[in-house]
Amino acid sequence: MPVRRLKPSRVLGIERFSDFGEFRANEVLGLGTSTPLRPREFSLSRAILPLRDGLFVLQRSFARRYEAEIGTDKGVGLVIPLTFHSIANGREVDSSTIAVMRGKTPVRAIEHHPNTYLMLRFNSDMRHRGWADFDPRLAYVRTQDGPMARLRAAIVEMFSLASACNDPRQFEALYRPVQETLLAGLDATLLPAGARTARPGSFDKHRKLIAHLDDVVALFGSKPLYSDDLAAALGVSVRTLQVATHAVHGVSLHHYLRLKRLWAVRVQLMTGGDGLTVKAAALGNGFWHLGDFSRSYRLVFGEAPSETLARGRRPLHLAIGA
């Protein structure tokens, strides 16, 4: 969904400018000076989503020269491209490149065409995840097509959801699942090559950690599973859990937890009462994008969640006879 199609809500703020004289820069990653290359074609749209752990600004900018000291004094900042091309400090930056920044860095750039991108500031430094573990500076990370496409889709869905939501309490209830999806996308795109590779001789230690993880997941019961919460409960970093999950099961931590959440939904659908709905079971286990949930459920179990629910409601003798 293009930025210009998003509508303001009680959750999402929208700003649009058609006159450069009225244009105001957003301070999410610092203020700068912009000079339009084609003033008569000036247009900018911006969607602002303030969240508990940071600030997210989705913007379609204009062809311009840009000079600023970008970054953040606290936490970590990112620029995630949807469609993008720029020459920044003499370096070509395109749609496959995510900018990650700690502290502030002077940047001089030229953007010959309008760009669409997400400016994101986390309050946390995110070192515990492994993809922002460097000294204060600006780093460019070139991504692979598949993970980048999934990350962009998550961003678009997040802003579409915020645009359609006029109940802040409802969005607050979905915030953790939405953030977990975004973090999964960032882990997949930003973790450096080899970051999930275990050291020789460490398999037994990782196997014990995953066994402990499974015990903690069981204790969580019907609560949604989030990587930060589980890492804290185990007294390790998210990065350590990522390495252990990949070493023992050959999949990412997010994939492993997603499978467990899918199984939790399946158990609820098979044993739930007449008042249970697929939507309630999905949301209760941290799935906020119901279309994506249904596709994943069918892929894993070979049937739609509604089929599982219908079978779970059938009398026992009929279910056995089937």
Report if residue 171 sits inside a domain: no
Same domain assignment for residues 137 and 237:
no
How far apart are alpha carbons 66 and 89 in whole angstroms? 11
What CATH number corresponds to the domain at position 127?
2.60.120.10
Q: Evaluate whether 94 touches 116 at the Cβ level (below 8 Å).
A: no
Residues in the chain: 322
Q: How far is residue 47 from each of residues 13, 60, 266, 300, 321, measured CA to CA in Å?
A: 6, 9, 36, 35, 55
Same domain assignment for residues 237 and 97:
no
pTM of the predicted protein model: 0.83
Same domain assignment for residues 156 and 211:
no
Report if residue 16 sits inside a domain: yes
Same domain assignment for residues 51 and 87:
yes
Of the residues 129, 151, 166, the one at which a domain ends: 166
- pLDDT above 80 for 312: no
Same domain assignment for residues 99 and 204:
no
Same domain assignment for residues 98 and 244:
no
- pLDDT above 80 for 108: yes
Report if residue 77 sits inside a domain: yes
Q: pLDDT grade, residue 160 (50/70/90)?
A: very high
Same domain assignment for residues 196 and 284:
yes
Q: pLDDT grade, residue 48 (50/70/90)?
A: very high
How far apart are alpha carbons 192 and 211 in whole angstroms? 26
The token duo for 277 is 């709905």
Same domain assignment for residues 160 and 200:
no
Report if residue 172 sits inside a domain: no
Report if residue 59 sits inside a domain: yes
Same domain assignment for residues 86 and 125:
yes
Report if residue 175 sits inside a domain: no
Report if residue 321 sits inside a domain: no
CB neighbours of residue 24 within 10 Å: 10
- pLDDT above 70 for 242: yes
Span of 155-159, 202-206, 248-252, 316-320 with lowest mean pLDDT: 316-320
- pLDDT above 90 for 148: yes
Of the residues 108, 135, 166, the one at which a domain ends: 166
Residue 110's contacts (CB-CB under 8 Å, 6 or more residues apart) are 37, 64, 65, 66, 86, 87
Report if residue 146 sits inside a domain: yes
Average pLDDT over residues 47-71: 93
pLDDT tens digits, 221-240: 767 788 998 999 999 999 89
Range of the domain at 235: 189-313
Q: What is the DSSP string of 249-261?
A: HSS-HHHHHHHHH
Same domain assignment for residues 8 and 147:
yes
Same domain assignment for residues 158 and 38:
yes
What CATH number corresponds to the domain at position 306?
1.10.10.60
pLDDT tens digits, 278-289: 999 998 888 888
3-state helix, strand, coil in the chain (%, to 5): 45, 25, 30
Q: Chain-centre distance of CA 192, in angstroms?
A: 17
Q: pLDDT grade, residue 202 (50/70/90)?
A: confident
Residue 195 has a pLDDT of: 67
Of the residues 166, 199, 216, the one at which a domain ends: 166
- The domain tally of the chain equals 2
Q: pLDDT grade, residue 1 (50/70/90)?
A: low
Same domain assignment for residues 159 and 243:
no
